[in-house]
């Protein structure tokens, strides 16, 4: 009898420990989601502070000039490869005349041969692209404190709906590497659009945008640090007409370890932490206005209700970074820097030779 009493006590004690651990585990699931969300948002905000204060950010996100690389003129064609423009060039405007005797200015002078196209020029001309094609006598006093080294370049333009473009480059300011710019842009009348652009910043941060058209169009925008995803939006749309995006099929937002997914045909989105589904949380996607490429740095917000009743939104957590994320997002779509600066330089050198 005494032996049976000991067995019963052991069973009761073990059950109490098991229930305590289970309860702790359940509570931990909720705090894990909330803590992971807060920490992931903090990591993203810290990364964006570093990116936005970098020299490369102000250069790669430059705007405010007339785009040249994607002309809508139907009879304009060009085929420029790295081999036709390689060498080292310095910004040194020279007054010349063309074959018909008209006055013109050549802005870049070749100083030596190289397997890359390396261009040294004043930083002020880069940050104000309109001034790149404007010359004043005071420009002779400017210092060539900006450099871009192009290791791959391919610009085969036939029409607005038929071209392929590749750029791989490294930029430096005051003889220190500031970042990289890489682009692949293919447009085919039969195959559609395959586009990828990337900024690489110092501090191991990278921003990417990708777009691949088709019956199911896939686009994504991501910010990573040390190869870990800090922020990523993926959108899959089903083609419904001739628009760039169709009906939303699947939307995925990843902020650090937290991932939110909404698929068409479902009434609610799901949220997971490190791949573990959080069944007690409620996710509500809020679209403030119609947007073909929905994004939380544009017109979309996401509300999360934890099982303890507290709520938060993505805009609340990353509010300080949204403006800078949007700047990266918009810039990677169009890559103004490539069109306004790199391509203008390539054209000037190419036409100078041909």
User: pLDDT digits over 119-151, tens only?
Assistant: 999 999 888 877 887 888 888 889 999 999 999
Q: Contact at 8 Å (CB) between 226 and 347?
A: no
Can you tell me the mean pLDDT for 156-183?
A: 94
Return the closest-CA partner of residue 89 out of 60, 112, 65.
Answer: 112
Q: 3 in a domain, yes or no?
A: no
pLDDT confidence tier of residue 241, bands split at 50, 70 and 90: low
Q: 10 in a domain, yes or no?
A: no
Can you tell me the mean pLDDT for 338-345?
A: 86
Torsion of CA 37, 39, 45, 49, to 10 degrees: -170
Can you tell me the mean pLDDT for 300-311?
A: 91
Q: 162 in a domain, yes or no?
A: yes
Q: 37 in a domain, yes or no?
A: no
- Considering its fold, how many domains does the chain have in total? 1
Can you tell me the mean pLDDT for 226-248?
A: 78
pLDDT confidence tier of residue 64, bands split at 50, 70 and 90: low
Tokens standing for 88?
């080292």
pLDDT confidence tier of residue 239, bands split at 50, 70 and 90: low
Q: 29 in a domain, yes or no?
A: no
Weakest-pLDDT range from 112-126, 193-207, 329-343: 329-343
pLDDT value, residue 134: 81
pLDDT value, residue 274: 93
Tokens standing for 50?
């570093």
Q: 102 in a domain, yes or no?
A: yes
Separation of alpha carbons 272 and 256, rounded Å: 11
Return the closest-CA partner of residue 231 out of 251, 255, 259, 210.
Answer: 255
pLDDT value, residue 103: 54
pLDDT value, residue 28: 39
Render pLDDT for 247-265 as a digit per residue (tens, 0 to 9): 678 999 999 999 999 988 6
**Integer CA distances (angstroms), 230 to 38, 206, 211, in order:** 12, 10, 20
Q: What is the pTM of this model?
A: 0.83
pLDDT value, residue 335: 85
pLDDT value, residue 201: 94
Q: 41 in a domain, yes or no?
A: no
Is pLDDT above 70 for 306? yes
Q: 98 in a domain, yes or no?
A: yes
Residues near 287 by beta carbon (within 8 Å), at least 6 away in sequence: 294, 299, 300
Tell me the DSSP string of 217-282.
Answer: EEEEEEEEETTEEEEEEEEEEE--SSSSS-EEEEEEEEETTEEEEEETT-SSBEEEETTEE-TT-E
- Expressed as residue numbers, the domain containing 78 is 50-353
pLDDT confidence tier of residue 354, bands split at 50, 70 and 90: low
Weakest-pLDDT range from 139-153, 236-250, 273-287, 329-343: 236-250
pLDDT value, residue 245: 53
Could you tell me if residue 168 is left (phi over 0), alpha (psi between -120 and 50 degrees) or otherwise beta? Answer: beta
Separation of alpha carbons 47 and 33, rounded Å: 21
Separation of alpha carbons 162 and 154, rounded Å: 14
Can you tell me the mean pLDDT for 170-187?
A: 95
pLDDT value, residue 70: 47
């Amino acid at each position: 009898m005494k032996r049976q009493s000991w067995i019963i006590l052991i069973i009761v004690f073990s059950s109490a420990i098991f229930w305590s651990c289970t309860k702790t585990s359940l509570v931990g699931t909720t705090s894990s989601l909330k803590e992971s969300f807060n920490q992931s948002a903090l990591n993203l905000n810290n990364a964006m502070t570093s990116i936005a204060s970098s020299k490369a950010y102000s250069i790669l996100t430059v705007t405010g000039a007339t785009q040249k690389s994607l002309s809508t003129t139907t009879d304009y064609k060009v085929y420029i490869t790295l081999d036709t423009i390689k060498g080292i060039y310095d910004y040194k405007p020279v007054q010349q005349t063309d074959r018909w005797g008209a006055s013109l200015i050549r802005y870049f002078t070749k100083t030596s041969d190289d397997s890359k196209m390396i261009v040294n020029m004043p930083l002020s001309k880069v940050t104000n692209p309109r001034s790149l094609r404007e010359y004043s006598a005071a420009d002779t006093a400017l210092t060539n404190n900006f450099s871009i080294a192009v290791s791959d370049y391919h610009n085969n333009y036939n029409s607005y709906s038929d071209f392929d473009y590749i750029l791989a480059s490294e930029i430096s300011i005051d003889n220190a590497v500031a970042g990289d710019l890489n682009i692949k842009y293919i447009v085919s009348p039969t195959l559609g659009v395959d586009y990828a652009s990337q900024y690489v910043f110092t501090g191991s941060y990278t921003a990417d945008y990708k777009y691949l058209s088709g019956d199911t169009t896939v686009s994504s925008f991501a910010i990573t640090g040390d190869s870990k995803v800090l922020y990523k939006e993926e959108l899959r749309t089903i083609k419904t007409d001739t628009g760039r995006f169709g009906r939303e099929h699947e939307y995925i937002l990843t902020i650090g370890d937290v991932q939110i997914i909404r698929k068409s045909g479902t009434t609610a989105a799901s949220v997971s932490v490190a791949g573990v589904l959080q069944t007690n949380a409620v996710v509500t996607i809020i679209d403030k206005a119609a947007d073909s490429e929905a994004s939380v740095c544009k017109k979309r917000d996401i509300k999360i209700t934890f099982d303890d009743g507290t709520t938060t939104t993505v805009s609340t957590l990353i509010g300080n970074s949204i403006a800078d994320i949007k700047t990266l997002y918009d810039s990677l779509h169009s890559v103004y820097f490539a069109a306004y600066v790199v391509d203008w330089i390539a054209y000037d050198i190419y036409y100078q030779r041909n």
